[in-house]
Chain A
Amino acid sequence: MDTFSVYVPKLLSKKEQFLSGRRSCKGCGKAAAARIASKALAPTAIAPDQVSESVTGSVLPGRNFAHDTIATDALIENLLDTVEKVNEEAARASQTRHKAVEKAVIGFNRRILEDDFTALTRALKKDQSALYLCFDNEAYIDEMLREAIPKPFILKEDVHPYGEKEVARVIQEKHMPPVVKKSEFDYIATSCPSHPFDLIEKIKKGIAAAGNAFILILTPCPTGWMFPNGQTMRMGKLAVATGYFPLYEIEEGTITITQKVSKREPVQTFLAQQKRFFTLPQQLMPVIQKEIDTFNEELEKAGKLHEIFK
Chain B
Amino acid sequence: MKKDDIISFGSTIPIATRFDTNEDWRFERPVWNQEKCIQCGVCFLSCPDGAIHENDEGYYEADLQYCKGCGVCIQQCWTGCITLEPTVERPPWLIK
Q: Which A residues fall within an 8 A CB radius of B?
A: 6-7, 9-10, 12, 14, 16, 18-22, 24-29, 31-32, 35-36, 39, 60-62, 196, 222-223, 226-234, 275, 278
Contact = CB atoms under 8 A, between A and B. Distances in A.
Contacts of A32: 46-48, 72
Contacts, number: 108
A10 B66 contact: no
A222 B42 CA distance: 20
A19 B48 CA distance: 11
Contacts of B45: 9, 12, 36, 39, 196
Contact of B48 (A9, A28, A231): A28
Contacts of B54: 14
B37 to A, nearest CB: 12
B33 interface: no
A10 B74 contact: no
Interface of B: 1, 5, 8-13, 19, 21-22, 25-26, 38, 40-42, 44-51, 53-54, 63, 65-66, 68-72, 74-76, 78
Contacts of B25: 26
12 contacts: A6-B38, A7-B41, A21-B21, A22-B49, A25-B11, A31-B49, A60-B19, A223-B11, A227-B10, A228-B71, A230-B72, A231-B75
